[in-house]
Structure 1
């Protein structure tokens, strides 16, 4: 039986089909890889919480909701400075680290593993004890909601009303509680957002007032030049903007020795 030669058009069709199949296989591989990486990250976070965080025992005089084994954490990484939790966002339950620049922890976890998830990290020029008037924390906005990926839920005023906007920072010597007073979108290099090193003066008062004026919605919390402020920053709009949360220091509770 005589075989018919394939025409040029048929060859193009087969080549196109091969390319499409190749693309589908690659996409499926990448998706499965992403799912696996997401699961591994979630497992690592849960293991860190289980190993280093415990609830305060009933009858404890310490008013903190949880205690952190900082000695254990610092055996793994000397760069750990605190632990963060945010009301309504259970997935945000992480160690806070501080590097010698603001790039290393973009691609490394708190325990120094290479990962696109990075870590929750403090502006490298801030004081690690959170005693600056303005302290900044950074974290990636991951599609699975991890790191600071779920932070943008606070762009919704109803979500804020439901959960109250409390941010708890546990430090080796104390627990600090902050209350969100403003959320906004900002440019990555916005001087009116990413500036530190203030004194209790008019410049700082104007800086804080800008947070109020640019807020996506009003809250019943007001910050002034007398307050210490915590800013949380994460990517938005494919990295073109940042979603930023500003919170006022409400209380400082020393840990029982």
Structure 2
């Protein structure tokens, strides 16, 4: 009888363990689902409010234009001609309303989108706590999925030689999981563009490399402000010969350029990272 009782206890414990595991898995999947729905809602709200603001500005511009057309020319110069400087912004509509976004979270300072992927997210940065958004969402709530983010060793204007942008490799294909699409050469070849929206305008990048790398902290490993170091780093990228590497050899990248490095994890390889790198186009064009 004691032997049967022992087996019964083991069986009951096993059932309880299975229930607990199922509950944890259900909670984990629900958190992923909720996070994704929150981002979808934020995307829709940001675009809707931006459209409303655009409509309002067009109406104001219309009124201003009518005033100009009806005004008499006095022959006097109204101010001096502005100095023309190099412009990196693309001449396209910015669909993101950053005023509203920053009411949600003042750490959000940009937005990244890669066409034909699920990568369409705000970018955040927490000053003084570089890895904060590794484990916190856009609402600053603890969440395993985290948020797309940069560390405070990078400036927020994307004018550093190399800006590293991090995101989790989520099983539900959210966050930066879709970077792994660039493993496929056909996808890599047909998807060269990355867009980053900022309050000042839209930046367009051309993807020039994707490959598996080690887990070193890139910004702490290279002094990119040293042009010789940056030039050597770029040369090494174009000389990558890994089996999963894709390189766009016809894109010219120099130490005078500004690049972004999109970084995520590799499933089952804790000491590896998958990188997609793109160069900022000048005046919206890759030269």
Q: TM-score range by the shorter chain?
A: 0.7 to 0.9
Question: Is residue 120–residue 137 contact of structure 1 (8 Å, CA) maintained in 2?
Answer: yes
SS of aligned partner of 2:205? strand
Find out whether 1:169 has 2:196 as its counterpart.
yes
Aligned partners of 2:140 and 2:163: how far apart in 1? Answer: 23
The structure richer in strand per residue is: 1
Cα shift at 1:102: 2.0
Question: Is residue 134–residue 198 contact of structure 1 (8 Å, CA) maintained in 2?
Answer: no
SS of aligned partner of 1:67? coil
Alignment coverage as a number of residue pairs: 242
Which residue of 1 is the match for residue 262 of structure 2?
232
CA RMSD of aligned residues (A): 2.4
Deviations 1:55-81 (A, max 9, x none): 8789x9x74354211111111222111
| TM-score, normalising length: structure 2 | 0.76
Q: Residues 111-126 of structure 1 correspond to what in structure 2 (within 5 A)?
A: 111-126=139-154
Which residue of 1 is the match for residue 41 of structure 2?
47
Question: Is residue 121–residue 148 contact of structure 2 (8 Å, CA) maintained in 1?
Answer: yes
SS of aligned partner of 2:119? strand
Larger Cα-atom Rg:
2
Deviates more, 1:152-161 or 1:175-184: 152-161
The structure richer in helix per residue is: 2
Which residue of 1 is the match for residue 276 of structure 2?
245
Structure 1 residues 221 and 194: CA distance shift in structure 2, 3 A: farther
| TM-score, normalising length: structure 1 | 0.85
Cα shift at 1:197: 4.1
Structure 1 residues 131 and 191: CA distance shift in structure 2, 3 A: closer
Which residue of 1 is the match for residue 72 of structure 2?
none
Cα shift at 1:192: 8.6
Among 157, 160, 182, the alignment partner of 1:132 is 160
Deviates more, 1:72-81 or 1:208-217: 208-217
Tell me, which stretches of 5 or more residues in structure 2 are unaligned?
A: 59-89
Deviates more, 1:16-25 or 1:204-213: 16-25
Aligned partners of 2:97 and 2:273: how far apart in 1? Answer: 32
